[in-house]
Structures are given as C-alpha cells and as structure tokens.
Structure 1
C-alpha cells in the first residue's frame, strides 16, 4: 500500500524535560520525510489517542510511529486497526536510563525515531493465514485416565466437541487399579471415585470415546489436523483442532533396581504398584502364601533420585507409602509398619497426612541406603537410622514394599527414540530400560519425527516456567504424569490447564493468529521458492516442526504450526523467507538508518540485537530503576536471536558501527529460550562470523554474544559499559564514513 507516515511524540513522563522535542520533530519531518509529526503531553490519555484516531480517519494516515514509552506497555491503548504501527522507545531506554539534556541522549532518541520510521516504511499489514480446508475446533484427547477424562469433560463443558482415545478396553487408566486415594484436606484416605468420572464421560454427548483404540496417524496442524483412529481393525478419520496428550505413566521396571533392595529374591518383596493390585481383594496378604501381614516395611526412593535409574523425584511416592501404611494399620491395628525414607516429601497441607500416619502408629526411619536381606523365608531390612545414629534391623517382615517411580508411558526425545535393543547389547547407564520402547502414541506425520521431542528424562519438552503444557509441536499440549510426575490432584489441575491452552490454540488459529509466545501475531513466513536451493536448513532448524519437505527437498510450510519465531528466516542462506512485518532486508535498512558520527567526533556506536522476550524487558527494567548505561548503544528488538541472519553483522560493520552485541536467552540443558533452540542457533551462527570479520579485515572482539535473563537487568549496565570500553581499546571501525 502507499504509505502515509505520521510520527507522534509524547512529551510526558519526563521525556519533554530531557529532550529537545522540537529538534526531534525536525528529524521526523526533515530526515525521515514524515508528512505529519505531532507532539502531545500525554499520548496515552484519551485526548492523545483521539489525536491519532482523527488523523487516521481524516488525514489518511496508515503508518504510525509513536515515540514514547516501551512497546511492552500501553499496547492495548495504542492498538489501531488497519494501520502499520511501530513504537520508538524513548522513555525507558533513553530518558530514563541516560542523562537529561545531554547531546548523546538527544542523538539516541533521534536515532530511535529514524529506526522506527524505517521499520514502518518497510512493513506491510499482514494478511491472516486462511487454509483452503475447513478448520476444525474439535479437541482430541489421547489417554483415558484421570487426566484425559478430566480434560474431555472440561473441554465439553466449555462447548467443544471431544474425541477421546484410550488404548485399553476400559476407561480409567491406572486409577482403575487403586482402591483408595488421598484427597484434600489430606487427613483421611477415601474410596476411589474414578467410576463417577467414567460415568460423566460416557453420558456426555459432546464426547465421542474410542476404547481399545490408538491414534494410527496424525497429520496437519492446529485447526487442520486429521486424526486416523484405529479400533477393532477399522479406521475412523476426524478433523481436529488441537490435541491434549494425556497418555499417562508406567512404573519403573523393578528388575533394574540394585540387588540389595531384594526385588526378585523373595516373592514378598513387591513394588508400590504391586501392593495396589494385592489390596484390590480387600485383604492385604503376604504374596507367598496369602497370610495377613503383621510386620511391613516401606522403602522409599527405590531407584529414584539416582543417576543410574531415575534421577528425578516422582513426587507421589511419599503420599502413596503413607496411604498404604495406613491401609495396613487399619486392616490390622496390631501390625508393625515401618517407612524407611531419605526425606519425606509431603509439602503444604500434605503435612497433615504425615501426622495422620504417625497417629495411626506408623514408625518412620530415616536412612539413605537401606538393604533388604533374604534368608530362606526370612525377610529383614538393615538400615542406619540417622536420627538414632546407629544401625537397626527390621526383622521378621512379612512384606517389603519398594517405592518405584513414574516413567512417562512412552519416553520421548533423541535419547529415547524407538530402538530395539540388540541381543547382547550393553544397557546405557543414562537411559532406563523402560525407555527402549517403540514410540507409538501420536504417530505424527512430521518430517521431524513421529512423537514429541523430549527432555533428558523422557518427558515431553515444555518450558517449565514460561509455558507449561506447551510442547514443541504447536497445538499439542501434554498434561498429567506424561508431562511430569504428579498425583491425581495435580493431574486434574493439569487437565484443566491444558484444555485452556487447547481452546486458546483453536480460537487464535481460526483467526489466523499465532499462539504463545507471540500471541495474536497475524504474520507468517512467506517463501520465494524460485531461489530455494533445497539446503533443508529451514526444516532442520525450525524448533516446532512447522516445515515439512517434499520428495525433492523443497520446504512445505504448515503455517498453522508456526510460532512466528523467524528461526527459518535466519537459517536461510538465500534469504528467501520473510514476514510482511519482519524481514532480513527490513532489519538491514533499520541498521543503515542509524546515524554514525565521524571517528573524529569520538562517538562510537554499538548495535544491540536484543531478544524481545527476556533481554529487551531487562533493558526496560534498567530504565524503570533509573540505572544508566552507555549512550553509544542502539537497540533493535528481534523476535528471537534465532532469526539472526549473518548479513546483519556485515551490514552493521560495513556501515561503520563499531560493535555488535547479541543479547539472547540462556541455551543448553536448562535453556530459557522461548523458542527452544533460537539462542543456541544464534550462538552457532555467530561462531562462523569470523569469516565475515576476516573478509572485512576487522577484529573478532567487535562481535559478542551474551545470555541475559529478565532477572539480570542489574548486570546489564556494567556489561554494556565494559563492552564499550573494550571497543575503545580496539579502536574505531575503519569503515566509518563509507
């Protein structure tokens, strides 16, 4: 469209006191050729907003620059439909973080106006993506346990049709094997009421249930998924909007436990899961002969929190042991029941249940390394009691119950891919035997694999702080013990949370919008295929599996899967991928719009390419706390550092800018990147920048990568100042003035 640009400069919040507003307006009209430039003492109040709205309606303004506060605030106020809009942050990152009425501060504000006008001139209004096929808002729930059934009931209650798939012949999952449970307020054990939840599912006409079934194939993306469900030899296809993975868990294989725990040495050494099966009859008898038990020992953390088995805590085992110990005491009040533990983990009001077990007469022994001794029919436990400071022997035991942990029903990820263990092959110590499974839950037809990518321990990858339930496959949300170890109370909460994410996904996608974290973004990647070299980097580097390939290696984008991170844009060496409001060329032009003083003026320039998720808000927080940093800095927020194209580094240095600093999220095992791999990919790409620097005959110190969390704001001023000092040592960029 033909652009008519208007620049609006706010003089409130101290901006007018710190800057020459008249000079700033002159930059907008003279340097940037904006036909309209207006100032206002408080742009975000109704009068200021009306000023902008009147110009849109009466003056034909369709491209707006608001030079005021950060784009992270007042986004609901400055929300004008049908116009290209950009925000020049001259409050938090200029006047609140630099000296007032200073030449360098003024130059910084002027540069931000130039950069912002360039951005709107190079942007187009995005058109929401509308697929050719009809979009579905139905929700597929995989797994018919407590999590899956709760999710189905919650989704149906919100008005959405649900397809529920359970691999077993009956609904209920593991809870069908459990006679009693512990519920809030955690003071008594109660009869399991899973049958009531099953009845709720069966009578709900919005829920179509498949039992004894599996998802044979899942193709497409949010709102355009097609699920092929196999049941009794026949296959039914359903259009699906989003998916909740509630496939549940399985117990860790006790055969892998250390021999000193006694499993297999006596039939009377059982697991906590086997105990539940034994108690189904209503009697708790010794497995070897069925005799009522009198002396019982529960051993906690059997293989858990152990690098050789399960390195994590399964969270429910302490509650389960307390419940089972109370069951034994209630069946036989005269019995001796011992719980041998490392640490009792009953947080919050769960402490009341721990007291309940004490009141029932359960005896607790703290020991880090107990040993089970089996001699003929005799069964005993040797333990060093840390509280008594001496070794004790629990003898004449009828049963020992080992608290084995929870493993996701199918282990996910690179280390847990479907592989058959070859005969005679040695077991890897860091991969549990349970993980050597054929992956067969979702059966995605994705170039990146048939299941969800996973974390180190086989749970589907989900950023534990910023977006629980999210997986790396857009529109597929994990919930319940398949996501992380949890009990039924946690599973019910998890189910409701995942349903809200699934509903959000179908509603946003049906409008052509992105889901978390760029919620509401209407742009999507466009491919100029005539220049594609089939290098496959976009498909390999996309963190979310949003691009498949045809038989010739051409990318096949699936826009409803796209999170708009722009990692594909940064990956493409031919620069054929762009967004209407974000492109390689656009950022290049913004860099070129920065005014670079002559070297004799001794005013170096530093370009900061800054992740919009953590580093940019951290810089805002520096301003909010009135902390100062070097005025040579010019910040360009980017969607993700994974969108970095190395041509930006070349553009920056050839422009005469003295240094390039990349501020991104932490990467690695405990990554903090909202787009999973973006920061890591930027670091990898930057390792190849030496070639660019050598070609330009420039020092490698001019380009640096730093990881920044939002909580690191207090470290940023020193980091920026130290980097500026290093550039002074290196000397001016020899390309200044060219």
Structure 2
C-alpha cells in the first residue's frame, strides 16, 4: 500500500524535560519527509489517541509513536488497518540518560530514525488461511485421569472430542487401584474415576476408541490428520489440537540396586504390585501365601537417585502412607515400618502423615537401607539419621519398594540424529531427544514424537508455557508431563484442554499462539534462491518446516511460533515476515547516525531478545538506572533470528561494537523459543573468525546471557562493554 506516515511524539512522563521534541520532529520531517508530525503532552490519554485517530481518518496509515515502551499501552496504540511501530524514548532514553544532554538527544533521534526506517519496509501482515478446511475438534490420547478430564472440559465447552485409549477400559492406572488417597485426606475413596468415566461414555460430544492406537499424525494445528487403529480397522479424522495424556509406567524394579532385594527375595514387591494385591483382596506373602503381619515400606526406591530417576515422583510418599494405613485398617496389630529419605506430604496431605503416626506406623529416616533374608523373615538394615545409629528391623513378611513414575514417552530408540543433515563446513546444530515411543507417530521431518527432556518428559518452557510441547498444537497433561497425583492430573487435563481450545481459536483467525500470541505474520520463502541447505528445517525448534523429496523446505504456518529462527539460519536470506525481515533490521542499523572518529562518540549496537533482555532494559529504565549513551538497542523476536549479515552491516557502517543479549541456554534454558540464544552463539563463532581475517578485533562483538531478573546487572554489562570498545579504539571502517 502507499504509505502516509504520521509521527507522534509524547512529551509526558519526563520525556519533554529530558529531550527537545522539536528537534525530534525535525528529524522526522527533514530527513524522512513524513506527512504528519505532532507532539502531545499525554499521548496515551483519550485526547492523545483521538489525535491519532483523526489523522487516520484523514488518510494516515503508517504510524510511528515515539513514547513509552512497546511493552505497555499496546491496547491503546492498536489501530486496525494501520502499520504501527513504537519508538521507546521513555524507558530506554529519558529515564536511563541524563536530561538535556547532547548524547541523550542523539540517542532519541537515532531511535526515531530506526523506527522510520523500519516502517518504510513494513507491510501489514495478512493472516494465514489455508485452502483446506480447518477443524475445531480435539483429540485426547490417553483415557486416564488427565485424559478423561481433558475430554470432558473440551466437550463441555462445545467442542467435539475423540478420546483414544490403548487399554480395553478407561481409567488408566487409577482403575487398578482399590482406593485413592486425595483431598481432603481424611478417608480413602474407591471408584474415584467412575463418575468421570460414565460422563465421558455418555457425553454427546465425545467419541471413545478403546483398545486403539494412533497410526499416523500429520499436519499441524487446525489441520492435524490422524489415523486411528482399532480392532484391525482404521479411521481417519482431522483435528484442531491434541492433548497428549498417555500416562506413565512404574520404574523397572529389575534395574534397582540388588541390595533392595527385588528379584532376590520373593517377598519384596513394588508399590504397584502391592496395590494389585490389595485390589484383588489377596494380601498374602508371595512366597508361601502366608499372612502379612509385618511390613516395611522403602520410599524413593530408585527415585531421587542420579543412577536411576534423579527426580522426585511426587506421589510415592502419599501412596505408601495410604498403603500403610490400609494394612492397619485390616490388621490394627500389624507392625508397619516406613523407611524414608525425606517425607514429602505437601498441603493437606500432612494430615495423612499425621494419621499414619497416630495409627502406630513407625517411621525411620534412612538414606540407604538394604534388605536381607533373616531367620524369621526379611530384615531391613540402615543408618537412622534422627537417632544417629544403625537400626535393624527383622521378622518382616513383606517389603514394599516405592518405585517412581516414568512417562511413556521415555521409551524407544532415538531417531532424530541424522549426520547427513550437517555439512562439513557448517557448525553443528544441537540435536533434540526424540524417541520412537509409538504414541503419536508424527509425520514430521524432525521426528516421529514430541521432543523430550533427558528424563523422558515432553520438552517445553516449564516456567511460561507449562502445557505446550515443542510441537505446536500438542499439549501434554498428567503424568506424561510431570509426576503428579490423580487430583492434580485432573486439573492438568482441564488446563491442557483450555490451551488446546485457545490454539484452535487462534489458528482459525490466522494468529500465532504462544509466546507471540496474536501475531498474524508468518514466514514467507523466496524459493527461487533456495539452495536446499536444510538449515531452516534443522534449526527450527518446533518442527514447523518439512522437506520435499528434493530437500526444498515445506513450511507449515500453523505450526510456526513466529520466532524467526529460520530467518536467522538461512544463508541466502530468502525467509522473511511482512513486519520483520533481514532487510528491515539492516535498514534500521544503517539508519543510525554514526559520528566520525574525531567526535569520540562511539556507537554500540545491542541486539536484544524481546522476551527477556529487552524487558530487563525497560526495568532498568523504570528504576532510573543510568548506562552508557553510546548504546542503540534493536529488539529481536528471538536472538536465534539474528542473521550474520546484521553484524556485517553494523561494522561496515562504522559502528564500533555489537552486543548480543540472549537468554540462558542449556538444560535449564530460559529461552522462550527453546534454543534461540544457543543458535545465535553458535553462529557468533563464525563471525569472530571473519572479523579476525578482516583484521577487526573479535572483541568488538560480544554475547551475554541475560534473564528478565538481571536488570540490575545490565548497566554494568553495557558500561563494561563500552569501556572495552573505548580501549580497542574506533572502528577503522568509519566514513567508508
């Protein structure tokens, strides 16, 4: 469209006292010839917004607002049908620089130039609307507590639901349990899920497949084409989103340390086996069928152990307390012992612990118990931490090992590592852990299941997006997501269903879901220049790009999270968004006014992640923390979207240093886009070699990891880098 640009400069919140708005207006009018340029004392007021709306009615369709951070007032400055860009001259200029200084004014003018350069390249995003009909149906995989809750929540909200369960009956593990210990922990409840099962079976919006499995899952949100197999026949259905509630299995007791006695002594059983004995009314010694009058429970059998399950399985303590009390209910004179490392009964579950103590259950805090055979039965020995001496409990009829939870996604062969994806001259991209676990059977180029963490649970951003998997539109719930009890699993299933519904509604509008919720842009590929290098498909953290038989990328826009990692990965720069592109950021860099070396005013470009480091810069400004005035910040959707050409553009423009501010990466990453900052750091290794060859100091480019809570450290980081640039000296390419 033909652009009529309006620039609106706010002078409120101290901006007018710190800057010269008239000079800012001159930059817009004299250097860029904008059609409209106005100042207002409170642009976010109704009167200020009405000024903009009146100009829109007069034909202004491209708006640059020089005021507060784009992270605030975004609802007020949202004008349908108009290109809008926000220039942050409050938090990152007026509030972090001395008022009235020449450098402060120069910083604001540069930011306005960069905003105007950006809107000149921007186009209005057009929502993605596939030619195929999209579905609003929800697929739930797994008929346990979480799956039943997810199915009911979505169905009650008016969505058609298909529930697929591999067993003959619904209910999952809870169906095999005689009684469940749950809120308020005053008594145990049998048939805990019966009501849920009946509601699911009789709900008009729910179709149930039992003794069934998923043969194939293709497509993406709104377009998932799923083949379901049942009793030798198969049916295909299209779904809008998927809830993965496939559940868990107990840790294999055969892998436990032999000193715990499993496999050596018949009367050593797991908590799951003990539960089956209770449910069948067959509480007898497995070895000889004798009565059970003395039992020891050994908690954390393999859990919280770096050689087995390093994590806590959450429910073992509560389940063992319940089982101990069930023995006491059957035989009040029975001797029941619980050997524990730390007793974990949070919240009202403490009542269960207290109830067991009152019933006469004996608790021993022992970190390393071992089981032996004695003259009158089994013996458990160990060092009791509280009394500070060795203890020995003998004459035991039964020893019960509380083994932990393992998600069903933790099994199978790793199928994702493909050496042919890496070219010799390229830096290796970290591979995901994807196991062929035969749950979803995804037809994704990146692997047949969702990526998992090293312990087998689906990978996601556990702080910000707890239900999301790395495959957009697929939401994990229940014990496949993390260990939890049945009540928590029901809440979890409901939460995952709500996320699935949100995903369905947003993709029908052509919008992105998390974390750029509402973004209507999506990557466009200029295929004429594609060299089939596979970098976009390899580096995309979300599996949003498949390949055809000739290795041409096949984008799936409804899977896309709009992070731009593919754009940063592409050496040919053929990938762009209508409002975010390599050329656009390049023009913003070139729009900076770079003083010559004699003015002794170096310029430092900061490429900052919009999810962590950019907000941290805002927070530093809110607290009036000062930092070096040579800084010029450009927010990136993700540092993984950084294309190396931007650093080359910056240095060739005479900019003296480039600082990349990304998220923490590694096993406990904080990147909203999983590995964006890690990929940026990998790419940075190449640019440093290039700088050395060009006789430009590699210290001119630096990478720092910053979390949103590190705002207090940012001024020191920025000032330290500025000091280093001053030591190195001016960029020799100034003026060329």
* Alignment TM class, shorter chain as reference: over 0.9
- Seen in structure 2, the aligned counterparts of structure 1 residues 646 and 376 have a Cα distance that, compared at 3 Å, is same
Partner of 1:105: 104
Partner of 2:517: 519
Matches for 1:106-145 after TM superposition, within 5 Å: 106-145=105-144
Q: Could you tell me how far 1:490 is from its partner in structure 2?
A: 1.3
Q: Secondary structure at the match of 2:317?
A: helix
Partner of 1:239: 238
- Seen in structure 2, the aligned counterparts of structure 1 residues 417 and 701 have a Cα distance that, compared at 3 Å, is closer
Q: Could you tell me how far 1:266 is from its partner in structure 2?
A: 1.7
- Seen in structure 2, the aligned counterparts of structure 1 residues 300 and 615 have a Cα distance that, compared at 3 Å, is same
Q: Secondary structure at the match of 1:687?
A: helix
Partner of 1:567: 565
Partner of 1:439: 437
Partner of 1:584: 582
Partner of 1:170: 169
More deviation, 286-295/107-116: 286-295
Task: State how far apart, in whole Å, the 1-side matches of 2:611 and 2:77 are.
Answer: 20
Q: Is residue 628–residue 717 contact of structure 1 (8 Å, CA) maintained in 2?
A: yes
Question: Number of residues paired by the alignment?
Answer: 722
Partner of 2:732: 734
The superposition leaves residues 514-549 of structure 1 with CA deviations (integer Å, 9 ceiling, x where unpaired) of: 010000000000000010000000000000000000
Task: State how far apart, in whole Å, the 2-side matches of 1:450 and 1:438 are.
Answer: 6
The superposition leaves residues 484-516 of structure 1 with CA deviations (integer Å, 9 ceiling, x where unpaired) of: 111111101111111111011000000000010
Partner of 2:285: 286
Q: Secondary structure at the match of 2:113?
A: helix
Q: Could you tell me how far 1:32 is from its partner in structure 2?
A: 2.1
Partner of 2:12: 12
Q: Is residue 412–residue 453 contact of structure 1 (8 Å, CA) maintained in 2?
A: no
Residue 55 (str. 1) matches residue 69 (str. 2) = no
From 497, 500, 520, the equivalent of 2:498 is: 500
Task: State how far apart, in whole Å, the 1-side matches of 2:289 and 2:174 are.
Answer: 24
Partner of 1:305: 304
Task: State how far apart, in whole Å, the 2-side matches of 1:377 and 1:649 are.
Answer: 77
From 521, 543, 546, the equivalent of 1:545 is: 543
Task: State how far apart, in whole Å, the 2-side matches of 1:375 and 1:460 are.
Answer: 44
- Seen in structure 2, the aligned counterparts of structure 1 residues 563 and 32 have a Cα distance that, compared at 3 Å, is same
Q: Could you tell me how far 1:436 is from its partner in structure 2?
A: 12
Q: Could you tell me how far 1:417 is from its partner in structure 2?
A: 7.4
Task: State how far apart, in whole Å, the 1-side matches of 2:412 and 2:276 are.
Answer: 31
Q: Is residue 139–residue 163 contact of structure 2 (8 Å, CA) maintained in 1?
A: yes
Q: Could you tell me how far 1:306 is from its partner in structure 2?
A: 1.0
Partner of 1:362: 361
Q: Is residue 187–residue 352 contact of structure 1 (8 Å, CA) maintained in 2?
A: yes
Q: Could you tell me how far 1:346 is from its partner in structure 2?
A: 0.9
More deviation, 224-233/380-389: 380-389
Q: Is residue 627–residue 719 contact of structure 2 (8 Å, CA) maintained in 1?
A: yes
Matches for 1:229-628 after TM superposition, within 5 Å: 229-375=228-374, 378-411=377-410, 439-628=437-626
Task: State how far apart, in whole Å, the 2-side matches of 1:78 and 1:349 are.
Answer: 47
Task: State how far apart, in whole Å, the 2-side matches of 1:392 and 1:697 are.
Answer: 71
Task: State how far apart, in whole Å, the 2-side matches of 1:253 and 1:70 are.
Answer: 53
Residue 93 (str. 1) matches residue 92 (str. 2) = yes
Q: Could you tell me how far 1:264 is from its partner in structure 2?
A: 1.1
- Structure 2 length normalisation: TM-score? 0.96
Task: State how far apart, in whole Å, the 1-side matches of 2:400 and 2:692 are.
Answer: 66
Task: State how far apart, in whole Å, the 2-side matches of 1:677 and 1:712 are.
Answer: 19
Q: Is residue 411–residue 417 contact of structure 1 (8 Å, CA) maintained in 2?
A: no
Q: Is residue 417–residue 439 contact of structure 1 (8 Å, CA) maintained in 2?
A: no
Partner of 1:430: none
Q: Could you tell me how far 1:573 is from its partner in structure 2?
A: 0.5
Q: Is residue 66–residue 88 contact of structure 1 (8 Å, CA) maintained in 2?
A: yes
- Seen in structure 2, the aligned counterparts of structure 1 residues 637 and 412 have a Cα distance that, compared at 3 Å, is farther
Task: State how far apart, in whole Å, the 1-side matches of 2:240 and 2:232 are.
Answer: 25
- Seen in structure 2, the aligned counterparts of structure 1 residues 396 and 375 have a Cα distance that, compared at 3 Å, is closer
Task: State how far apart, in whole Å, the 1-side matches of 2:187 and 2:287 are.
Answer: 30
- Seen in structure 2, the aligned counterparts of structure 1 residues 417 and 29 have a Cα distance that, compared at 3 Å, is closer
Unaligned runs of at least 5 residues, structure 1: 419-434
Task: State how far apart, in whole Å, the 1-side matches of 2:414 and 2:390 are.
Answer: 40
- Seen in structure 2, the aligned counterparts of structure 1 residues 547 and 694 have a Cα distance that, compared at 3 Å, is same
Task: State how far apart, in whole Å, the 1-side matches of 2:553 and 2:675 are.
Answer: 19
Matches for 1:135-214 after TM superposition, within 5 Å: 135-214=134-213
Task: State how far apart, in whole Å, the 2-side matches of 1:193 and 1:378 are.
Answer: 35
The superposition leaves residues 412-456 of structure 1 with CA deviations (integer Å, 9 ceiling, x where unpaired) of: 7986979xxxxxxxxxxxxxxxx9985200000000000011101
Q: Could you tell me how far 1:692 is from its partner in structure 2?
A: 2.9
Q: Could you tell me how far 1:690 is from its partner in structure 2?
A: 2.1
Q: Could you tell me how far 1:283 is from its partner in structure 2?
A: 4.9
Residue 25 (str. 1) matches residue 25 (str. 2) = yes
Task: State how far apart, in whole Å, the 1-side matches of 2:415 and 2:536 are.
Answer: 24
- Seen in structure 2, the aligned counterparts of structure 1 residues 469 and 688 have a Cα distance that, compared at 3 Å, is same
Q: Secondary structure at the match of 2:76?
A: coil
Q: Could you tell me how far 1:267 is from its partner in structure 2?
A: 1.6
Residue 36 (str. 1) matches residue 36 (str. 2) = yes
RMSD: 1.5
Q: Could you tell me how far 1:341 is from its partner in structure 2?
A: 0.3
Q: Is residue 688–residue 701 contact of structure 2 (8 Å, CA) maintained in 1?
A: no
Partner of 1:228: 227
Task: State how far apart, in whole Å, the 2-side matches of 1:382 and 1:416 are.
Answer: 44
- Seen in structure 2, the aligned counterparts of structure 1 residues 122 and 102 have a Cα distance that, compared at 3 Å, is same
Q: Secondary structure at the match of 1:734?
A: coil
- Structure 1 length normalisation: TM-score? 0.96
Task: State how far apart, in whole Å, the 1-side matches of 2:412 and 2:488 are.
Answer: 24
The superposition leaves residues 348-403 of structure 1 with CA deviations (integer Å, 9 ceiling, x where unpaired) of: 22212111111111110000000100247721111211111111111110100001
Task: State how far apart, in whole Å, the 2-side matches of 1:256 and 1:323 are.
Answer: 25
The superposition leaves residues 196-216 of structure 1 with CA deviations (integer Å, 9 ceiling, x where unpaired) of: 111010010100000000010
Q: Could you tell me how far 1:286 is from its partner in structure 2?
A: 2.0
